[in-house]
Amino acid sequence: MKEGKKVSDAVIKRLPRYLRYLDDLHEEGIERISSGELGKLMGITASQIRQDLNCFGGFGQQGYGYNVNNMREEISTILGLNNTELSLIVLGAGHLGTAIANYTNFEKRGFKIKAIFDINPEIIGKKIKDVEISDVKYLEEFLSSNKIDIVVFTMPAVAIKSVLDIIVKSDIKGIWNFSYLNLKVPEHIAMENVHMSDSLMSLSYKITQNKK
Amino acid sequence: MKEGKKVSDAVIKRLPRYLRYLDDLHEEGIERISSGELGKLMGITASQIRQDLNCFGGFGQQGYGYNVNNMREEISTILGLNNTELSLIVLGAGHLGTAIANYTNFEKRGFKIKAIFDINPEIIGKKIKDVEISDVKYLEEFLSSNKIDIVVFTMPAVAIKSVLDIIVKSDIKGIWNFSYLNLKVPEHIAMENVHMSDSLMSLSYKITQNKK
């Protein structure tokens, strides 16, 4: 990456998307692609692509297009996905938590689910894939004796508030928040919010616009 | 809305977020808020807020702040959420589909789940809340005799490909896509993709940056 250059959030948000398309191309055995072809696939302009990738020093040689595999590797590295495993715990083994714990694509990217916690005695002790659901009362003990990178919040807001202190005082590096809560955490903890209803409202907006 | 003014995607994406914060303020009984205070809550600048809301003709009077309830109403209307019910069907009654079908917040916003389809004989006939899971082979028949606005895709990619034709030929207005697929549909069908792993990769990026 070019030193000292601040990369905008919008570009960062697009990187996983590049990676998805590049993975597809790689699986189809395509080794090289021009910014024009990639742009057509992704529905963005070639100049947007060149501009985005220039933030990280290019990857392409004028007229030769991009080497698909190199670009996959580079983007993976930028995203912190190469040569490291990031460990996750899931707080909340309801439907959403179970969906996440079952999602095998995460493992392909180097994310590893180490534990799942819930408060519901009826499901504590059951397993999702190979991971047993533990009682949330053991969360603090678990975090003090295991190196965990990411905590996934899929519990109701009230339940999260009751454990947030424990989380913030631990050594975790990031929170992946699916709850409605607008959480405030110290700056050294990275945060990604997935507000699913926001996306549904955006869809409603688009439908409204299409009717005009 | 100001006629003829094109509103950027970035602004549209922020509107549901404004609505969430305004709903919270409303529940706390707060009637009026300045762009400065709202900005502090949301972690964006006051000038960003004024700029965003100006796209739709303002809502505020200089020095008086915004009327929380008016602004909620206006944003809801812009998002197409007022005075209309949008009907949804969910394709896929796995964990994610079940989580979505159980999510009561959608109903509060005027989204109504009318049917759920799956291919798994073990769950067909069961109910999620009051809606029975139907066999996907009845999808075409259902769509031809019911007015449905939005189809939610939470089935595996292969299963979606097999029904995409039926969907596209029906009168649906939007697709809310949780599958990995990069779907191409006609322009009159609005589309919102939720790629959950993109968000996890963005989190990984932020964690990597924090380490530096």
A193-198 contacts: CB < 8 A, separation 24 or more? A194/B194, A194/B196, A194/B199, A195/B16, A195/B17, A195/B20, A196/B100, A196/B103, A196/B194, A197/B16, A197/B103, A197/B105, A197/B106, A197/B109, A198/B13, A198/B16, A198/B17, A198/B20
Reported as a single tens digit per residue, the pLDDT across B167-184 is 999 999 999 999 877 788
Reported as a single tens digit per residue, the pLDDT across A146-202 is 999 999 999 888 888 889 999 999 999 999 999 877 788 899 999 999 988 889 999
- CB pair distance less than 8 Å for A106 and B197: yes
* CATH architecture label of B86-197: 3-Layer(aba) Sandwich (3.40)
- The pLDDT score that the predictor gives to residue A126 is 97
From the list A119, A111, A63, A121, the residue with the least C-alpha distance to A89 is: A111
B8-13 contacts: CB < 8 A, separation 24 or more? B8/B55, B10/A10, B11/B52, B11/B55, B12/A202, B12/A205, B13/A198, B13/A202
Supply the ipTM of this predicted assembly.
Answer: 0.88
Residue A83 vs residue A16, higher pLDDT: A16
- The pLDDT score that the predictor gives to residue B94 is 93
CATH number at B9-78: 1.10.10.10
Domain with CATH 3.40.50.720 in chain B: 86-197
Two structure tokens written together for B81: 């959420």
- The pLDDT score that the predictor gives to residue B123 is 96
User: Looking at domain A9-77, which of 1.10.10.10, 1.10.579.10, 3.40.50.300, 3.40.50.1580 is its CATH number?
Assistant: 1.10.10.10
Domain with CATH 1.10.10.10 in chain B: 9-78
- What global pTM score does this model have? 0.84
Sheet holding A32-33, edge to edge: A32-33, A65-67, A60-61
Instruction: Residue window 182-211, chain B: list those with CB within 8 Å of chain A.
Output: 182, 188, 190-192, 194-211
Q: Which chain A residues are closer than 8 Å to B20 by Cβ?
A: 180, 182, 195, 198
Q: Which chain A residues are closer than 8 Å to B180 by Cβ?
A: 20, 105
* Per-residue DSSP letter, B116: E
Quick check: A173 contacting B, CB < 8 Å?
yes
Reported as a single tens digit per residue, the pLDDT across B12-40 is 888 998 998 998 899 899 999 998 899 88
- CB pair distance less than 8 Å for B205 and A21: no
Sequence-distant (6+) residues with CB within 8 A of B120 are: B93
- The pLDDT score that the predictor gives to residue B3 is 45
Mean pLDDT of B133-146: 97
Cα separation, B166 vs B189, whole angstroms: 13
